[in-house]
Structure 1
Amino acid sequence: MTRLFELDLSTIAILTVIGFISAFIDSCVGGGGLISLPALLGLGIDPYYALGTNKMAGTMSSATSSMTFISLGKYDRKLMTILFPVSFAGALIGAKTVLFIPPEVLRILVIVMMALIFVYTLVNKKFGREARFKGITPITLGWGIPLTFLIGFYDGFFGPGTGSFFVFLMVLLFGFDFVIGAGNGRILNFASNLAALLVFILEGKLIFLTGLTMGIAMLAGASLGARVAVKTGVRYVRPLFLIVSISLISKMVYELIFSS
């Protein structure tokens, strides 16, 4: 594999289209890495450099969508003030320990978790349609802090589906609707992306020009996706969440079977 330090017009076009689409989806329900990371690998980039480059572009995307949700008031400031550093710390540790845990073990666990989330959301028709948030309580915070840390750790270590996990946590545990849950989820995902990116930068495992090219396209996709999610509401976000979830499950099962 090559590091792809040189970009021709066709590669730039591919990165632009993939970046826009993945960021659009990611800003709503997470799972954009399902599209962007395989695209980078498909261009022949070394896996470690692909991960770092994808984190750079993903950080630009999550920063943009986070600011969009914040500007539209679709987030909970108090809760994010508490959980943002938790997600950051989890991802920082996760990225540092990536070499010490067999990825196959984590991949199986994630498939099981994603399958449970998909079934739960599919069966519960009213899930995330109406806000049930009653404020921050010792119970929700007692569960929210360690779960946020674990999801952040997972993002630093592995990554696919992190945004979806954060959205699900916000809706199930705290009782937000899917739109506010998506806003909170993007902010927490930005924290985990940023922490992991810092580790990849320090390790020199990214290609700046490639990440910047995809990241610029992601700025537009993330901003548009967040605005569409807010405008159309739960009737759009919920089915997209289900589609992304089953797509992620299918992809990971396929990789697990055919890479073994």
Structure 2
Amino acid sequence: MYNIVFLCAAGFIAAFVDAIAGGGGLISVPAFFMAGFPPHIALGTNKFAATTGSLTSSIKFITSKKVNKDILKYAVPVTFIGAVLGVKTVLLIDQSFLYPIVMILILLVGIYTLISKNIGLENNYQGITTKTLFFAMLLGFSLGFYDGFFGPGTGSFLIFGLIYIFKFDFVHANGNAKILNFTSNIASLLTFSLEGKINYQYGILVAVFMILGARLGAKAAINKGAKLIKPIFVTMSLAVAAKMLYSMF
């Protein structure tokens, strides 16, 4: 009984934070480990619950018209393909060499966002060009592959990449990033499901609380805007880097 209450509370908080700025896995994955789940079951069950939360926040951003369908119709398919290839690759290659590279990159993203006063605070989107669409598809494929292969910081990289490519503010970048992140989550979830690595008894209960957290988080992000998202985004980016550094040593 204690485990399920603990996991539901952790799931709610993780989904709330993730809907605002990404990085919810920093809360939910360790919670499953602390509850005594074996590693693969912990990751699979977390992915199941987190995907429902990701879907909920995605729907909220869509209904609030904070996503760009002209970009997503090209970026979503390549993101899914990238994630499938990433999952297949992870079965063949050791992930450990990625730790220092990703840790440095996400640390730089957090620091750059912190010191750049105006980044993501205003929506300066100017439309789509062939060049920006190419980079959006490259971003989707690359981070889809990365999420399937490894994962930490995917949401942060997507938000930062969309701000850099399209000059979005944090709200619009987050909305579009959520759709792409949900796409890569689905690919990973299907793999975990086929491998029988999901505890549905716990996963369904945690998913309910993640749906609630994601809905409230997305609502807060949309209503409060970039001024709420930016500090949480910086905090979660630095937290992911710190967590990876801790794991290395």
Quickly name the TM-score band, shorter chain normalised. Answer: over 0.9
Residue number in structure 1 paired with 2:143 = 151
Tell me by how many angstroms 1:149 deviates: 0.9
Unaligned runs of 5+ in 2: none
Give yes or no for contact 2:110–2:235 (8 Å, CA) kept in 1: no
Amino acid at match of 2:58: S
CA shift for structure 1 position 166: 1.1
Q: Distance in 2 between matches of 1:109 and 1:53?
A: 27
What's the % identity of the aligned pairs?
Answer: 45
Whether contact under 8 Å (2:71, 2:136) holds in the other structure is no
Q: CA deviation at 1:101?
A: 2.3
Q: Distance in 1 between matches of 2:232 and 2:73?
A: 28
Shift of residue 100, structure 1, vs aligned partner: 2.1
Shift of 1:99: 2.3
Q: 2:25 aligns with which of 7, 26, 33?
A: 33
Pick from 199, 220, 223: which aligns with 2:212?
A: 220
Partner of residue 14, structure 2 = 22
Measure, in 1, the Cα distance between the counterparts of 2:177 and 2:84. Answer: 18
Pick from 181, 185, 189 the counterpart of residue 189 of structure 1: 181
How far apart are the structure 1 equivalents of 2:131 and 2:45?
38
Decide which moves more: 222-231 or 204-213. 204-213
Q: Does 1:13 align with 2:5?
A: yes
Q: Is 1:101 paired with 2:104? A: no
Deviation per CA, 1:117-163: give whole Å up to 9, x if none: 01210111100011121111111122221221111111112222111
Distance across 2 between alignment mates of 1:137 and 1:118: 28
d(CA) in 2 for partners of 1:35 and 1:50? 12
Name the structure 2 match of 1:131.
123
Correspondence 1:1-260 to 2 at 5 A = 9-257=1-249
| Larger mean Cα displacement after TM superposition, 72-81 or 188-197 | 72-81
8 Å Cα contact 1:33/1:159 also seen in 2: no
Which deviates more, 199-208 or 62-71?
199-208
Partner Cα separation in structure 2 for residue 155 and residue 214 of structure 1: 22
User: What are the Cα deviations for residues 227-260 of structure 1, in whole angstroms up to 9, with x where unaligned?
Assistant: 0001001110000001111111111101111xxx
RMSD: 1.0
- In 2, the alpha carbon distance for the partners of 1:127 and 1:215 equals 33
| Contact kept in structure 2, 1:33 and 1:161, CA below 8 Å | no
How many pairs were matched up?
249
Q: SS state of the match for residue 132, structure 1? A: coil
TM-score, normalization by structure 2: 0.97
What code does the residue aligned with 1:88 have? F
**CA–CA separation in structure 2 for the residues paired with 1:132 and 1:142:** 19
- Which runs of 5 or more structure 1 residues have no equivalent in the other structure? 1-8
Give, in angstroms, the shift of residue 168 of structure 1: 0.9
SS at match of 1:26: helix
Q: Equivalents in 2 of 1:121, 1:10: separation in Å?
A: 39
Q: Counterpart of 2:197 in 1: which secondary structure?
A: coil
**CA separation in 2, counterparts of 1:205 and 1:62?**
20
Deviation larger for 141-150 or 244-253: 141-150
Q: Aligned equivalents of 1:12 and 1:36: distance in 2?
A: 12
Partners of 2:185 and 2:78 in 1: CA distance? 13
Q: Distance in 2 between matches of 1:214 and 1:154?
A: 25
> How many angstroms does 1:172 deviate by?
1.1
Equivalent residue letter for 1:214: V
Measure the CA separation in 2 of the matches of 1:87 and 1:211.
25
